[in-house]
Amino acid sequence: MIASHLDHVNLRIPSDGVDAAQTFYGERLGFGIEDTLYAADEKPFFDVRLSSTAVIHLWPTDEFEPPTATNFNHACVVVEDSIERITDRLADAGVEVDRELSSPRGATGEAPAVYVTDPFGYRIELKERV
């Protein structure tokens, strides 16, 4: 079996966290928010559009429990910008960088990356394209 890419990741968020999620992922990080079907009660989650081939499904739920060090580490998103542009955008948006690495290894090789935490405790690695 040969996979070509990661299609989606499912993350649960608090039922009252929809606005915070849309602000963080949409406005602060600059990803697309696709919530038409969610708003129409046609599906129980909405999407953060990372690229034409990848999304994060965000599932609001009353049973949300924040991730811990024992059950989640991070998801990595390759960004089509230099690490300088990524960090500048984060600074402009007021997003705190948890950690910056010069060459973490990933599926496509080594490239600079920064780590941020969303409003629900999920760590997201934003990695420069190799």
Q: What are the average pLDDT values for consecutive 10-residue runs of the chain, which has 130 residues? A: 82 97 97 97 96 95 92 90 94 96 86 95 91
Residue 34, SS3? strand
Q: What is the pLDDT of residue 3?
A: 66
Nearest to 29 by CA among 69, 72, 81, 107: 81
For the chain, first and last CA: distance in Å? 24
Query: Cα-flanking dihedrals φ and ψ of residue 79, to 5°?
Result: -115, 140
**What is the chain's Cα-based Rg?**
15
Query: Which domains are delineated in the chain?
Result: 8-128 (3.10.180.10)
